[in-house]
Structure 1
């Protein structure tokens, strides 16, 4: 080859590489409502970038999920193994190679990369200055007006053109979710009345003012059912944002409400450096609520509390670099890598769906689908804003969209809006049990209504007078909640004192405790665990106490109304364990 030919070839290759490396916008969002631009992000601030590679075979996994979750399908209960699920979500090798080559151009070696077991997520830790170069963007510090929380985010990022089809999502970039506990701030924490019920008492009027384990057992027809500790059953609670479950408080709770459990405790698992601070002043209301009622209801089933480290807010005037990431993605990564995750897991955290970029919401939802296919039941609280946004006071909700149009819309919550999880709304009182006003409910703007709830939701929509809430919600979206449970006046022990707590953050662990008992029924009968619940639940509405009183106001409206059958306030209703245990063992 002549020198001139070689120079021409090298020049051509350089032009070709430059053309293939031309950045084009991958994602762009409008500046988020309720957040104020504070400053340019410090160049040395560390970011843990998570790069999601496409999952080309996810539709096949979804097909498997619905087959093993459909009680009328011959494969019902034949859950997939961890390895089978990972094979179905693995990216094409071309995507792995091209993303690796791109990272190498920025001096990021294989030893700097963490890969998920399925190789569909790539995680790297880089300073802001490198992230900005890689993504052709500028990061800023944004401050949340109402809370003062700060995040390092951008409203747009780009990738080389040839990578667009090989990357689904990169975060943290455009996600402004605050991932807060679903706990009512109106009826939040107050001194609790003296308990009038004991572990063997009949349901009585005291349960209108104080919810205890006994109240839930009687109200949901648990009776004297005794689960086993040795049939392979398990239940889990997720904890975030330095919410610590206090073991001494659990013992105090057990002594009063579950004396047969005194002296026992939960397994503790640290995720992403999550701590286990057992000092009394570090005890968390949310964590204590969750473990006391979920584990109290399901005792002696094997129980685990996951403490996940990481907190998105960043303090801009501190010079020490900190990681900026959404902590629940850390938990999802961790739990997907486990061989034997708990069979029923409750999460009482979330945020408005519109604060989560749709491509990221879909990837997180796909992670929940993987767990469901493996036989795990996932419960998420539906939120405490009624049909409105995260403001718990219906009178002050703005309910404006984040798409730059500032339209008034009902605001669903995520992850409750994911069709692969069971969303739990809230109720209160007994005889009759009614919808609590803050019960989050509505329709997703990201996810279409799944087939399993078509019939029930269509019946509900048909009851709405023509023009009701026209333009305020997406009638074709995934509808929430699926079910409900008590959400007011839970008697919780915190730092040795009894307090009263409310929110759908109470409803989710309560319902999860019932699910753990139902798994016990199936396991004792030699059957597999329930796994992804929704396709089954919508076929057995007779297993629920239908809630027909109440509504969930928000956005300047009265919200939806609880009616016979499914509704967008309490879903199918609250569980009747006595009926459900006979129904679930029949499949």
Structure 2
């Protein structure tokens, strides 16, 4: 009879023998051409630390997607019956075999459970390793690549491989082939001049503008030069509605790229535009090394814009600002551990782990869709679907480059494919191109017209979802035959879905009044209206709205007056006039801007799918 110690030794030897050898056959997992606008400058330092994000397949995602559409479809009996955190995690969890085989592979490189972390559903594995080890694991070579226009640098490769037996058990590994440059979608801002202040005083004394859909049928004339909280409430028929602070409703704003929302500026803003909110504040949550610098001269224009308008519109709804650290650029003179991942994934890891995330969350950052590897874009999009299934409404700015890339200045736009062909192509943005989020375009002035920089178009990655088929097909039929042929994908997910005011917003930045614009103003504005709708629903014992798009398009088809249809303006880019705003949905302003009063009447009906839309 063998001793227990002998069995232990034999078991250890057998387990060690089962580990895949480092030199086993590998297969190229992903390969991209040298990215346009980037220059390979030097080999990456061997001791530079990167955090590899390893995605395991989600074999039951189609089932999650079915649940998402059923609970988001106002015509379905399950409308509003969102899934729990645990139910969602069970639907995206990888197979045990995938977990086991990936564990073996990591162990063969000396990486064990104590050296890694996992997402709540175990569908992501995160490991921090030096470049030299990543190169061995992925049979690749990392280099420092410099972006020609900005001078920013990243550590990336153009191809990597995995052991052949893991091909079906790992969907992707990043950072490897992603050369995106996450941008804040803010166009320009300027401090108020004496001339502008004089014009504002004149406008303040002018007669109001007649807008039948607005609260009271009119809007202050000053709103044509300066957008305030009062202007939004008037224009979108929300005057007089008071959300509850105690019904469980919450709103969130995401912040990236060292953007800090300044509390002192917020108080100054409140004193001028929302005096009843004075001395109230918001919760700041730090993610992945995010910071909360409250030095006044470090205030972020983007963060202040988002917080002041979203939280000003929804006071006294409890509010959260998520400050997420990390950005792709690599600093070659600082070889301390740093995160070179796309920050969206860091935020998603955090928010999906929360039991009760805010029901409405706005984001004003994006990448050119073509710079995000398809595999990664789809996985991040799937993460947004998980939030939607749990009852979270996600709004994203549609972009500030019209049909071009994120550059507002058409002279700086590079409307070429990034696949080595250098073909001319319109440039949609991601994440607004994800079908599981609500993309928000922009308008300007009263009466409203499309603002010229409003991002819009058609995804080259995601097909058009069924919820927008009718509205988008109708628009495409109005285009003269051959219009922009080859410049966009007429079968792609269309953006934006909706719109809101996007320019001339008056905020406070570093203690001074500033006029600011961009679809980064439109997204928190529309999110503020959604949060008010959620408050109205929750106060009546109804569920939050969750994933908005099926409802948005259903309402627009049944009662177009619930949205203010924008029929003038266009979004030039890539050397073209872009698309025109027109009757019904269009790729400049979506189905239009919200009429809160009408929408509230619809969404607060019980049995919405029967009483509200049939």
Q: TM (normalized to structure 2)?
A: 0.91
CA–CA distance in 2 between the matches of 1:18 and 1:103?
A: 11
State the partner residue of 1:446: 461
State the partner residue of 1:578: 597
Contact 1:45 1:323 (8 Å CA) reproduced: no
CA–CA distance in 1 between the matches of 2:289 and 2:370?
A: 29
Deviation of 1:390 after TM superposition, in Å, equals 2.3
CA distance 1:252–1:16, change in 2 (3 Å): closer
CA–CA distance in 1 between the matches of 2:572 and 2:235?
A: 26
Contact 1:378 1:421 (8 Å CA) reproduced: yes
Q: How big is each residue's C-alpha offset from its partner over 1:256-277, in whole Å with a ceiling of 9 and x where there is no partner?
A: 0000000100011111121111
State the partner residue of 2:163: 160
Deviation of 1:321 after TM superposition, in Å, equals 4.3
CA distance 1:15–1:338, change in 2 (3 Å): closer
CA–CA distance in 1 between the matches of 2:293 and 2:46?
A: 33
State the partner residue of 2:210: none
SS in 2 for 1:51: strand
State the partner residue of 2:84: 81
Contact 2:458 2:488 (8 Å CA) reproduced: yes
Matched, 1:191 2:206: no
Contact 1:20 1:161 (8 Å CA) reproduced: no
SS in 2 for 1:424: strand
CA–CA distance in 2 between the matches of 1:141 and 1:517?
A: 47
Alignment of 1:13-32 (within 5 A): 21-32=24-35
Deviation of 1:149 after TM superposition, in Å, equals 1.0
CA distance 1:340–1:521, change in 2 (3 Å): same
CA–CA distance in 1 between the matches of 2:339 and 2:78?
A: 43
State the partner residue of 1:174: 177
Q: How big is each residue's C-alpha offset from its partner over 1:475-521, in whole Å with a ceiling of 9 and x where there is no partner?
A: 00000000000111110100110001110000000000000000011
Unaligned regions of 5+ residues in structure 2, if any?
Answer: 1-12, 206-214, 609-614
State the partner residue of 1:521: 536
Which of residues 277, 287, 297 is equivalent to 2:303? 287
Contact 2:299 2:510 (8 Å CA) reproduced: yes
Which of residues 566, 570, 573 is equivalent to 1:554? 573
Please tell me the root mean square deviation across aligned C-alpha atoms, in Å. 1.9
Which of residues 236, 239, 254 is equivalent to 2:270? 254
Which of residues 97, 100, 103 is equivalent to 2:100? 97
Contact 1:44 1:321 (8 Å CA) reproduced: no
Deviation of 1:322 after TM superposition, in Å, equals 2.7
Contact 2:284 2:323 (8 Å CA) reproduced: yes
Which of residues 467, 475, 500 is equivalent to 2:490? 475
Deviation of 1:188 after TM superposition, in Å, equals 3.4
State the partner residue of 1:544: 563
SS in 2 for 1:562: coil
Which of residues 587, 590, 597 is equivalent to 1:568? 587
Deviation of 1:177 after TM superposition, in Å, equals 1.1
CA–CA distance in 2 between the matches of 1:396 and 1:109?
A: 47
CA distance 1:15–1:539, change in 2 (3 Å): closer
State the partner residue of 2:511: 496
Runs of 4+ in 1 over 3 A off after TM superposition: 13-20, 187-190, 192-198, 317-321
State the partner residue of 1:302: 318
Which of residues 405, 413, 437 is equivalent to 1:397? 413
SS in 2 for 1:538: helix
SS in 2 for 1:389: coil
Deviation of 1:585 after TM superposition, in Å, equals 1.5
Which of residues 109, 129, 136 is equivalent to 1:126? 129
Q: How big is each residue's C-alpha offset from its partner over 1:335-390, in whole Å with a ceiling of 9 and x where there is no partner?
A: 00000000000000011000100000000000000000000000000011100112
Matched, 1:407 2:408: no
CA–CA distance in 1 between the matches of 2:261 and 2:19?
A: 57
CA–CA distance in 2 between the matches of 1:237 and 1:455?
A: 32
Alignment of 1:67-466 (within 5 A): 67-184=70-187, 187-191=188-192, 193-194=196-197, 203-431=219-447, 433-466=448-481
Contact 1:188 1:503 (8 Å CA) reproduced: no
SS in 2 for 1:556: coil
Deviation of 1:221 after TM superposition, in Å, equals 0.7
How many pairs were matched up? 573
State the partner residue of 1:534: 549
